[in-house]
Copies of this chain bind each other. A is one copy, B any other.
Amino acid sequence: MALKTKVKEYRENAGLKQSELAELVHARRETIVHLENGKYNPSLKLAMDIAKVFHVTVEDLFEFTEN
């Protein structure tokens, strides 16, 4: 049940800093760090807010994998 995410890819392609993305979605920079690297399960709202920034779907941005 690990979380794979493309947040970092999309963020860098958009030329955004972690702190800038954080501000756009009303979250803390550390939350973005944890999300990009870590394996934790954000709230639906946060996931959708981030997806909206990049104009992609949640499904495109996040994937839960077995094990």
From residue 4 to 20 of chain A, which have CB atoms closer than 8 A to chain B? none
- Indicate whether A38 reaches chain B with its CB closer than 8 angstroms: no
Set of chain B residues within 8 Å of A57, measured between Cβ atoms: 57-59
Min CB–CB distance A65 → chain B (angstroms):
11
Question: Looking across the interface, which residue of chain B has its beta carbon closest to that of A1?
Answer: B45
| Cβ-defined contact, A44 with B59, below 8 A | no
Which residues in B have their C-beta under 8 angstroms from that of A43?
41-44
Question: Could you list which residues of chain A lie within 8 angstroms of chain B, going by C-beta atoms?
Answer: 1, 3, 41-48, 57-59, 62, 64
* 5 additional contacts (CB under 8 A) given A43-B43, A45-B64: A3-B44, A3-B45, A44-B58, A57-B58, A58-B58
